[in-house]
Amino acid sequence: MASTISTAISRDYSLYSHSDLTALKIYLLTYLLKRPSIPTYAREQLLYAIAVLTKRGIEDYDEQEKRKVMDQMRELCVVSEWGRELAIGLGKALVDEFGMIRGSRVGVSWDYHKRTKEYFESNYLLPLFDLLLNVLHEQYQIHAQPQHYASATLTTDTHISGNHTTSSSNSTDSAFNPKQDPLLSICFSLADKILNWNFERKKEGIVLAGAFATEGEMIDEDELFESAVTPEFPASWRSYLTNPDVLKMFFALHQLVKGSEMIAHRSRQCLIQLSGLHGEIFEDSEQFKTYASIVIQQLMKLMDDLALTYSLPTPIQPQTHGPTLLGVTQMIRRLLTTIPLKILCFVPEAGQFLHSVAQLSATCLREPVRSGYMVDELTWYMEAFDDLLVVWVMLVQSALELCASQSTYSRGMDYQSQSSFDTTGVLGFLAEACNHITATYIETRLEMAKYIAEEEDEDLEGFKDWESYGDQLLGISVLARIVPERTIGRLYQCLHERATYLKKFFDTGAGEENNGLAYLHETTHWLILISGFVLADSGEGEQPLVPDAMVQLSMTQASIYTCIDKSNLNKELDQVVILAKTILSILELVSLDPSTIEASHCSPRVAETLFWFVERWGRTYMLLDEKDHSMMSRNIVSAFGRASSFGEGKVILDFLIDKIRINFNLWSADTEPLIQIVRTLDSFGKHSALRNGLLESDKFPSLVSYLTDNLNEFPPTTHNGMIKTITVITSGASDDGIRRKYFELVTSTIEKRFMNVLQRPDLAQVYHNGELINDVMNTLEMFDGLAMGSNTSNCILVYEFCARYFESFIKLINIYQNYSEVSLLVLQFFDSFVKYQDFGKLSIERSQILYKAIIELFKNYFAANSGRQRIESLEEEEDDPYEDICMILDLLSELMASEFEACGWNASSRKQSLGDIDVASVVLYGLNLIIPLINLQMLKLPKLCKEYIKLISHIVEFYPDKLGNLTQELLTHIMARLAYQAITPLALFVHNEERRRNYTAAVQHLHAPLDKFLNVIMDCLLFKEFNSDMLDPAAEALIALICARRNSYNGLVQTLVSRQNTREFEDRLRDAFTKLQANVPNTLPETILSRRDVGSFRDVLYTFLMSVRGFLRIR
């Protein structure tokens, strides 16, 4: 019935009289009031129907009727307990309905939704919250037990607000039972919604008019209401939310309901929001401090409860206490990331509070280990710790900023005698807290290693620990650098002990059992991982510098060359240097010949982590340039710097080259360590000093020879990356002779291997031999790596070598037409070759050879696969479904991009081919072959769909003049799937052709698709959910379409205007279109493709949409 009422209101509201609708609303309320046993779902549906009636008619109400909305709820609260349930339930329905996000579709414009939301926000939301507080106060008086939270008990004769009165009840000792007392559950649900209200006037950024929630999207309430920041409440809410009694009451009520997880969850969400109040709700800094003091006091009580719980001798079940722990840490995070540090430090309880937070941080780490939980049961604790880690990082960064600026605390605020901020004291406190947390983190990771070592599967869904725990380790590194000597000393001691244990085991074969050895490897892995984050930054995208904390620590250490007493290394040596060298010594210790017995006790996980450390640390420290740093320690320069600075970086680089070769031999059957070694080499190749150091090393040529000669001994996944890395490094040689020498060293190996296959006289008979197939695939992967290593300095060399074998690659397509792995590698080579080749340096003749080869590739590949039956269900189960089609689409897109990258993006400057074939011919040839194979089911796969849309959009954008050569079926297929960026050049092409009076069949053929695009774009802009980020491309497409199809546009405008059901809307829409049309030129310049200069039209279009979408969009 309730659903039918809502539907009727949406469809036929104007057919009913105002008095009938008012009577219906009263009837529904009366009906509910007389039926306290009505099922919950039925009650909620009827209350939502009343809310819909209220919202739909709110603008028709007179002032007296508007006041009745709240008066009726107040009257219900006086009637009975059931009446209070109905009042609060109706409040929930009204908040949802007027809040727009969950509002019903009542058939009104977006403007109406927005106006009613603003009216509700200004006139009903705060009175509703006042009513809620009084009901909560009553419930507190009924259920509170005097022995609990006595300090938070409210005076029974003092109400939360003086605006309204409600009946008081004496406090009793009755325990709270959520089944018998459902009112509190409804109250917390309403409080949660109100405290998460999205205040209209506080919205930031540009929001396009008519922006409803995504239609048809299921809304997750937890995600909806657990926002990262508390809303900024207006000043009018000050007397409520900053009222000490209100804050204490919410915390006290949480103690009452914590036994019921469903209600406790809502209660925690309210407390999280109340812990993050900010903005104009605080009159001055003193009020902010008072608020912070109250919240801190209440949070300390919650932390005391947690401390008591975790002090019990019996293990704590994380499923039971996890939500409580996480809720408390989120409250702490919300408070401490909201309140400025220079205000927090003047709160009397701040020191004790932060001390408790530090203890709780340690508890989050220690408790799961103490209780013996397995790794996959630690989610609650780790999430809680991550919340607190964010807090500590923020506090440290704020303290360092304040310390650096030496800002005073009295600026703009009155703190009486406390006018200066004690940065030294704050940093001292934070240093102790951070050292405690960091030490506990290291201890916890070492303890957790025991459980991880017992697990057979160490892999977390393919992610490495430095990826899975990267944010956490980054936070720990920030804390560790406050007092780096303590953390580095601890890491050194632990690593030194493990190196000693491992050496003892290798020397004597005793001292560690198998499970103990696994534990030793796991702890070593984590110690190296933490050390890598503490010593160096990732520096992604830029050259990382040695962290200032490491430089300053090193500068305070004694010179590494003044130490005589070898027994006192840890005290005398530079800690930054000795920690790195200790890790390198472990690398030396575990880099063994695979034939030795000791090698069988080495861990590929440790080897991989060691080379991850070398990659991260090496980019920062090895062969560093002192000029890049404002200050630098002589110890670091001497240990790892350049020879010109009397550094030993070159010696360490030679050492690493030796270890790379040994580990490739040791782990030749293990993919992960070798991939990491290749990644490390690739990283060094992008660092000019390290690249030159490798090229100048006497050991590097033998490493290159070893890797290329033994490529087939290594896992296939390393082949192309290895050759690419070697090619990139060697191409960076400053001397052309050295560059050619290395290039010939690599290519001679590839050529020899390839010719051994091609020149076999019995190839046609033995091509299916497994070993021969492996040789073919290994060689193709080497070619692919060579193509990927192409750059401006070696592109001609790469082209000349690879071009000699284009015909041979195509021959392999025919020979191995039943072996898709080989065909895919051939496609992958051509894709990489086109992607990485510098076409600006290729002559016309060289380009022609490549274009012809690609056409032959397509011709032979599709001929060889013409009878192949694809089973969609099997394809989609593959790790990379339809891999060949995706690769061909990418190849065609890269081929198009190559022409414009070489000649610029201006169509008038495009290079004209002197040969028979140009890029457009190759692309359209491939398009004719590949498009018919792609159906709508395949386009549901994200990767294939992305490649497909990109290709056809680029074809239309860059070659609109070629579309006339396509078949009608193919053209229709393309037109159905274009992006805004592709519609613009298509319309521009038609516009300019008609300006020249070139009414060709191709132009005429494009009229219907353009008219369809015009209708679609106008529909999206005016009536659909539309992302304002898409406004620029949409403006380009629309202005081009208007100029190309002006008559169609005018007809569409007239239709839209005539559809309006009121004269007011007709006039508004007509005036808006007139202003928009005034900014559309009669003609567009042909150079718009390159300039895209439609900024002024974009601004006018934005104004147009803001003025009309509000009354055109209906919900």
1115 shares a domain with 1042: yes
Distances (CA, A) of 800 to 805, 841, 982: 10, 12, 35
Q: Are 93 and 50 in contact (CB under 8 A)?
A: yes
**Contacts for 521 with CB less than 8 Å, ≥ 6 apart:** 453, 603, 605, 606
962 shares a domain with 842: yes
987 shares a domain with 1056: yes
160 vs 84: which has the higher pLDDT: 84
pLDDT tens column, 631-673:
999 999 999 999 998 999 999 999 999 999 999 999 999 999 9
457 vs 993: which has the higher pLDDT: 993
Burial category of 462 from C-beta neighbours within 10 Å (exposed 0-12, middle 13-18, buried 19 and up): exposed
What pLDDT score was predicted for residue 540?
72
Q: Are 579 and 495 in contact (CB under 8 A)?
A: yes
- On the question of pLDDT at 558 being above 80, the answer is no
968 shares a domain with 874: yes
For residues 72 and 637, give the distance between their C-alpha atoms in angstroms, rounded to a whole number.
79
What pLDDT score was predicted for residue 1086?
66
747 in any annotated domain:
no
* Average of per-residue pLDDT across 598-622: 96
Structure-token match 């259920």, residue found: 143
Burial category of 94 from C-beta neighbours within 10 Å (exposed 0-12, middle 13-18, buried 19 and up): buried
1093 shares a domain with 1034: yes
Three-class DSSP category at 1114? strand
- On the question of pLDDT at 379 being above 80, the answer is yes
972 shares a domain with 860: yes
First to last CA, the chain: 21
Q: Are 113 and 100 in contact (CB under 8 A)?
A: yes
Q: Are 76 and 1077 in contact (CB under 8 A)?
A: no
158 in any annotated domain:
no
What pLDDT score was predicted for residue 547?
95
Least confident of 56-65, 577-586, 927-936: 927-936
For residues 745 and 733, give the distance between their C-alpha atoms in angstroms, rounded to a whole number.
14
Q: Are 793 and 739 in contact (CB under 8 A)?
A: yes
pLDDT tens column, 813-835:
999 988 889 999 999 999 999 99
Burial category of 1063 from C-beta neighbours within 10 Å (exposed 0-12, middle 13-18, buried 19 and up): exposed
pLDDT tens column, 727-779:
999 998 878 888 888 899 899 989 998 998 888 888 888 888 988 998 899 99
**Ramachandran region of residue 59, left (φ > 0), alpha (ψ -120 to 50) or beta?**
alpha
What pLDDT score was predicted for residue 944?
86
275 in any annotated domain:
no
For residues 985 and 922, give the distance between their C-alpha atoms in angstroms, rounded to a whole number.
20
Mean pLDDT score of the chain, rounded to an integer?
Answer: 84
961 shares a domain with 845: yes
DSSP-assigned states of every residue in 201-247: GG--S---TT-PSPTTPPPPHHHHH--SS-----GGGHHHHT-HHHH
Q: Are 171 and 144 in contact (CB under 8 A)?
A: yes
Q: Is the dihedral of CA 579, 581, 583, 586 positive or negative?
A: negative
Least confident of 49-63, 213-227, 445-459: 213-227
757 in any annotated domain:
no
787 in any annotated domain:
no
**Contacts for 702 with CB less than 8 Å, ≥ 6 apart:** 661
In the 8-state DSSP scheme, what is residue 1024? Answer: S
Which residues sit opposite 707 in a β-bridge? none
* Average of per-residue pLDDT across 29-48: 92
**Ramachandran region of residue 204, left (φ > 0), alpha (ψ -120 to 50) or beta?**
beta
Host domain of residue 950? 838-978
* Average of per-residue pLDDT across 386-394: 96
971 in any annotated domain:
yes
Instruction: Output the pTM of the full model.
Output: 0.85
DSSP-assigned states of every residue in 790-833: --TTTHHHHHHHHHTTHHHHHHHHHHTTT-HHHHHHHHHHHHHH
Last residue of a domain, one of 916, 951, 978: 978
Task: Please give the tally of structural domains in the chain.
Answer: 2
Burial category of 251 from C-beta neighbours within 10 Å (exposed 0-12, middle 13-18, buried 19 and up): buried
220 in any annotated domain:
no
Return the top range by mean pLDDT from 11-15, 334-338, 836-840, 1105-1109.
334-338
Last residue of a domain, one of 978, 1011, 1043: 978
In the 8-state DSSP scheme, what is residue 577? Answer: H
1006 shares a domain with 987: yes
Q: Is the dihedral of CA 545, 550, 551, 554 positive or negative?
A: negative
806 in any annotated domain:
no
1111 shares a domain with 1040: yes
Least confident of 529-533, 567-571, 627-631: 567-571
Residue 565 structure tokens: 């007493």
Residue 506 structure tokens: 């290798």
Q: Which of 533, 522, 494, 689 is nearest to 617 (CA)?
A: 533
pLDDT tens column, 396-455:
999 988 887 754 444 443 433 344 557 778 889 999 999 999 999 999 999 988 877 766
Three-class DSSP category at 463? strand
Q: Are 188 and 267 in contact (CB under 8 A)?
A: yes
842 vs 314: which has the higher pLDDT: 842
Least confident of 102-116, 215-229, 272-286, 711-725: 215-229
960 shares a domain with 1088: no
Vertex 344, ends 338 and 345: CA angle to 5°?
155
Q: State the number of CA atoms in the 13 A half-sphere of 195 facing the CB.
A: 31
1097 shares a domain with 1008: yes
Give Cα 794 to chain centroid, integer Å.
36
What pLDDT score was predicted for residue 419?
41
For residues 466 and 415, give the distance between their C-alpha atoms in angstroms, rounded to a whole number.
45
Last residue of a domain, one of 954, 978, 1002: 978
* Average of per-residue pLDDT across 916-928: 87
Least confident of 117-131, 190-204, 906-920, 933-947: 906-920
Backbone angles phi, psi at 463, to 5 degrees: -95, 145
What confidence tier does 166 reach under pLDDT thresholds 50, 70, 90? very low
1055 shares a domain with 960: no
Residue 627 structure tokens: 């000029």
* Average of per-residue pLDDT across 134-161: 60
For residues 27 and 44, give the distance between their C-alpha atoms in angstroms, rounded to a whole number.
15
Residue 1081 structure tokens: 């030129």
